[in-house]
Amino acid sequence: METRSSKLVRFLSLLCVVVWAAGPRAVAQTAAGLGIQLYAGLTITGAVGTIYQIQDVVDLTQTNNASAWRCLEFLQLPASPYLWTDKSVSAIGKRFYQAAAFTAPSNMAYIPPGTFRMGSPTNEVDRYYYEGPQTAVTISRGFWLGEYLVTQGEYLAVMGSNPSRFNTNNGYAQDLNRPVEQVYWSDASNYCATLTQRERTAGRIATNCVYRLPTEAEWEYSCRAWTSTRFSYGDDPGYTNLTTYAWYSDNSSGTTHPLGQKLPNPWGLYDIHGHVWEWCQDWFSSSLPGGIVLDPQGPATGASRTIRGGSWGDFAWNCRSAVRSDAPAGRSSSIGFRVVLAPAQP
């Protein structure tokens, strides 16, 4: 999992005291010392493209206590120097900031913030009505997403059990690199909570960071990876190329397979089309919200949770980027999940 770099990025003032009173900017010490600023933020100088963990603490006496720093967001440095500002602060108060180089947990991809069109256009071939109306969605903060689905081996290591149909208990060859399935939404959520606690205790993630399921919007944004076609690799009108990206009814032989055997999408996510449906955080709604939305979380309540992506037992058109569904009652050997790592919602 994550290893935290001991070197903090050198910025305009290594620690920034944010003062919300009017007055001139005063620097208490020289370069790399303590500074007082009139804006909530910091200037970062580093290698463009490097991913940093932006952290804050409100108590000056705690700045040398690594566990006191909260993760505000993950930032992929777009330019150097770069002025980062904190849009989450209250109108009055002070915070101290630092930017630490961040090494990702193994097998996780950084998903940058951005805007995309969620859902499918009305003329998309094989479209279902509940894939609309198309909605302009902004994902305001970057996050980490598993490059792979959670495996049977990973689930067993964290939860101490393996509920999957496709294992030796049911006559299948032993391969813990298959995706875990036959997990309820609550099982997937409990896995995330248990993993979070383990990694916090080990000091591998900040005390306010969490592993969780992706929102439906985060899932589709990650699947599309800046594309607007039926699949992340193109429209594929005759479904002739899908077999190189997905396990589905035409090529799966009615079973799951070891992960990573198909090509990934442009952001390095494997099995994002097909293989097993993936649990999302949201309650299911029979339509998208439409209009323009920021970081949607789905309905406040509902009867079932959303799943995305299609599975080994589905027809090709159910593996499109826009396809959405809800889960049947009971456990299903066609439903698994992948995890997000991000700061907890305030």
Question: DSSP strand E in the chain: where?
Answer: 3-8, 15-18, 34-37, 41-44, 51-57, 70-76, 82-85, 96-103, 108-111, 114-118, 135-139, 143-146, 209-212, 277-283, 291-294, 305-308, 324-326, 335-336, 340-343
Q: What's the number of domains the chain is made of?
A: 2
Residue 122: strand pairing partners: none
Tokens of 211: 């592993």
Q: How many CA atoms lie within 13 A of 34 on its CB side?
A: 9
pLDDT range class, residue 30, cuts 50, 70, 90 = very low
Last residue of a domain, one of 68, 103, 138: 103
Last residue of a domain, one of 103, 138, 167: 103
- Residue 51: alpha-carbon gap to chain centroid: 15
Same domain, 324 and 261: yes
Same domain, 93 and 184: no
Tokens of 34: 């303590």
Tokens of 308: 């995305």
Same domain, 220 and 89: no
**Which domain covers residue 34, as residue numbers?**
3-103
Helix axes 185-201, 152-159, angle to 10 degrees: 70
Same domain, 80 and 139: no
pLDDT of residue 328: 77
Q: For the whole model, what pTM was predicted?
A: 0.89
Question: Residue 201: how many CB atoms within 10 A of its CB?
Answer: 10
Residue 2 has pLDDT above 50, yes or no: no
Residue 34 has pLDDT above 80, yes or no: no
Same domain, 118 and 20: no
| Per-residue pLDDT tens over the stretch 268-303 | 999 999 999 999 999 999 999 999 999 999 999 999
The CA-atom distances, in angstroms, between 137 and each of 127, 132, 210, 293 are: 20, 13, 23, 5
Last residue of a domain, one of 88, 103, 118: 103
CA end-to-end span of the chain: 24
Which three-class secondary structure state does DSSP give residue 280? strand
| Per-residue pLDDT tens over the stretch 131-173 | 999 999 999 999 999 999 999 999 999 999 999 999 998 888 8
List b or e across 64-85, with b for residues whose CB sees 16 or more CB atoms inside 10 angstroms. Answer: eeeebbbbbbbbebeeeebebe
Tokens of 3: 């290893």
| Per-residue pLDDT tens over the stretch 199-217 | 999 999 999 999 999 999 9
Same domain, 200 and 252: yes
Residue 43 has pLDDT above 50, yes or no: yes
Nearest 5°: the CA angle 273, 275, 279 is 80
Residue 17 has pLDDT above 70, yes or no: no
Nearest 5°: the CA angle 200, 206, 208 is 90
Q: Write down how long the chain is.
A: 346
pLDDT of residue 38: 54
| Per-residue pLDDT tens over the stretch 95-120 | 889 998 888 889 999 999 999 999 99
Question: DSSP strand E in 120-183: where?
Answer: 135-139, 143-146
The CA-atom distances, in angstroms, between 163 and each of 192, 249, 278, 309 are: 16, 22, 16, 21
Mean pLDDT of the chain: 88
Provide the CATH number for the domain around residue 133.
3.90.1580.10
